[in-house]
Amino acid sequence: MDTTIALRFDDDRAYVMLDRPDKHNGLTLQMISDLIASAREIARRPGVRAVVLSGNGPSFSSGLDISAAAGDPLAIARHFLPWPLRGTNSFQEACWAWRRLPVPVIAAVHGHCFGGGLQLALAADVRFATPDAGFSVMEARHGLVPDMTGAVALSRLVGMDKALLLTMTADVVDAAYAAQIGLVTEVTADPISEAEKLADRIASRPPHTVAAAKRLFDRSWHSSVRRTLAFERAAQLPLLLRKAVSNRSDQ
């Protein structure tokens, strides 16, 4: 099966591009697996100093492609089961794997950044976005909650009240507002260029210092990640079951 992620290495940098442009990079189960595999491949390369994460085509990512994923409920169940040693399931690991990397991950966002796509962007350490980018915790529109580490990232970045507001309304917000509340690091006309400039600046620092800084903040920020991810799964599972029953009754 063809990969849905374009991964390339250029000197000390890794470029990861979501590569399903005709579907606004809607996330499939294959894409979830490919994201995890890409992060693992980068982790095996000690010379990498930074990762630039972007999307091919008109959008960064429109979120989970529900119609594509719904065709294989057994595969969804397998992806949903947590890995005991990691404390994440595949959906969560597709995002949290980037947090595990000892190098900075910089997301360059444009177009739609919705649902699972937003949670992937939030797993990056820094986010640059075009002025016309749109952001939404889209899951509520489908009767779901964010379950790809979004509960961790949102509360860390924007605080509890705005995290709840974004999640319960599923509103689409623009890049200016996203930057104002901390969802986006900076708004710029050329996110890739800004990401590369930042990668150059960080690469001038000792790699062990950069790795230690990332590890320090990830481990010390608020409560246990493992517990929060377990809460995500507990909240999502009954909603998924309800959705499955509803879909079956509509057929």
Predicted confidence (pLDDT) per residue in 175-220, tens digit: 999 999 999 999 999 999 999 999 999 999 999 999 989 888 877 6
Residue 210 domain-assigned?
A: no
Does the pLDDT of residue 246 top 50, yes or no? yes
**E strands, 1-101, where?**
5-10, 13-18, 50-55
What's the pLDDT score for residue 1?
44
Residue 203 domain-assigned?
A: no
Residue 69 domain-assigned?
A: yes
Residue 212 domain-assigned?
A: no
> Using CA atoms, how far apart are residues 59 and 242, in angstroms rounded to an integer?
30
Residue 209 domain-assigned?
A: no
What's the pLDDT score for residue 61?
98
**Number of structural domains in the chain:** 1
What's the pLDDT score for residue 217?
82
Residue 117 domain-assigned?
A: yes
CA angle 149, 209, 106 (to 5 degrees): 40
Q: What is the CA 104 to chain-centroid distance, rounded? A: 14
Residue 242 domain-assigned?
A: yes
Task: Please tell me whether the overall predicted TM-score, pTM, comes out greater than 0.85 for this model.
Answer: yes
Residue 180 lies in domain = 5-190+219-250
Does the pLDDT of residue 141 top 60, yes or no? yes
* Domain CATH code at residue 19: 3.90.226.10
**Which tens digit of pLDDT belongs to each residue from 52-93?**
999 999 999 999 998 777 677 788 888 888 887 788 999 999
What tokens appear for 115 in the block? Answer: 């649902």
Residue 29 domain-assigned?
A: yes
Contacts of 130 (CB under 8 A, 6+ apart): 109, 110, 111, 175, 187, 188, 189, 191
**Which tens digit of pLDDT belongs to each residue from 23-52?**
999 999 999 999 999 999 999 999 999 999
Does the pLDDT of residue 248 top 90, yes or no? no
Q: Is the dihedral of CA 84, 90, 96, 102 positive or negative?
A: positive
What's the pLDDT score for residue 220?
67
> Using CA atoms, how far apart are residues 189 and 82, in angstroms rounded to an integer?
39
